[in-house]
Amino acid sequence: MLTKTGKNSIPVGFPEVVKDQPSGRDVALETRHLSRAIEDKVLVNDISVRVQQGEILAVVGPSGAGKSSFLRLLNRLDEPTSGTVLLDGHDYHEIEPRELRRRVGMVMQMASLFPGTVAANIAFGPQQRGQAISPDQIEALLDRVGLRNYHERDVSNLSGGEAQRVSLARTLANSPEVLLLDEPTSALDDASQRGIEELVLSVIRERRMTCVIVTHDMAQAARIADRIMYIEAGELVAIGLTEEVLHAQSTVP
Amino acid sequence: MLNQLFHDPVTLRAAQAIGAAIFALVVAYLARWAGIRLQRETVVALVRGISQIIIVGLLLTFVFGSAQWLSAFVLLGMMLAGAVIAAQRTKHIPRVMRVTSSAILLGAGLVIGIMVLLGVIDTAAATLIPVGSMLIANAMNTTALALDRFRAEVEAHTGQIEAGLALGGAANVVIGPYVQAAVQASMIPSVNNLRSLGIVWIPGVMAGMVLSGSDPIEAAIYQFVVVAMLFATAGTTALLCALFVRGHAFSPAEQLLLRPGEPRKPAPVPVSLYP
Q: Cβ-count burial of A215 within 10 angstroms (0-12 exposed, 13-18 middle, 19+ buried)?
A: buried
For the ranges A15-19, B115-119, B128-132, B217-221, the lowest mean pLDDT is seen at: A15-19
Helix B158-166, helix B125-156: angle, nearest 10: 70
**pLDDT score of B66:** 79
Burial letters B126-142, b for 16+ CB under 10 A, else e: eebbebbbbbbbbbbbb
- Region B116-132 average pLDDT: 87
Residue spans per domain, chain A: 27-250
The pLDDT value given to residue B270: 37
- For A77, which of B162, B263, B269 is closest by C-beta distance? B162
- In a mutational test of the B interface, the residue from A40, A45, A77 whose CB has the highest number of chain B CBs within 10 Å is A77
pLDDT, residue B214, reads 85
* Residues 6 or more apart whose Cβ sits within 8 Å of residue B230: B134, B135, B138, B190, B193
Instruction: Sort out which chain B residues have CB atoms less than 8 A from A174's CB and list them.
Output: 167-168
| Sequence spans of domains, chain B | 1-65, 68-248
* Per-residue pLDDT, A25: 62
State the pLDDT at residue B171.
Answer: 93
Higher pLDDT, B60 or A11: B60
Name which of B214, B154, B146 is nearest B178 in CA terms.
B154
pLDDT 10s digits, A153-169: 999 999 989 999 999 99
Q: What pLDDT score was predicted for residue B268?
A: 41
Q: Would you say the ipTM is above 0.85?
A: yes
How many contacts, defined by CB atoms under 8 Å, are there between A and B?
Answer: 89
* Mean pLDDT, range B228-236, rounded to an integer: 93
Q: Are A117 and A153 in contact (CB under 8 A)?
A: yes
pLDDT, position B57: 87
**Strands (E) located in chain A:** 27-38, 41-52, 56-60, 82-87, 90-91, 104-107, 178-182, 210-214, 227-232, 235-241
Q: What is the CATH number of domain A27-250?
A: 3.40.50.300
In this predicted structure, the answer to whether residue A95 has a pLDDT above a threshold of 90 is: yes
Strand bridging mode A56-60 / A227-232:
parallel
- Tell me the C-alpha distance between A46 and A240, whole Å: 18
User: Which of B19-28, B52-61, B252-261 comes out lowest in average pLDDT?
Assistant: B252-261
Question: Greater confidence, B1 or A67?
Answer: A67
Which of A73, A76, A141 best tests the B interface by mutation, with the highest count of B CBs <10 A? A76
Query: What's residue A17's pLDDT?
Result: 53
pLDDT at B258: 81
Least confident segment among A153-157, B64-68, B211-215: B64-68
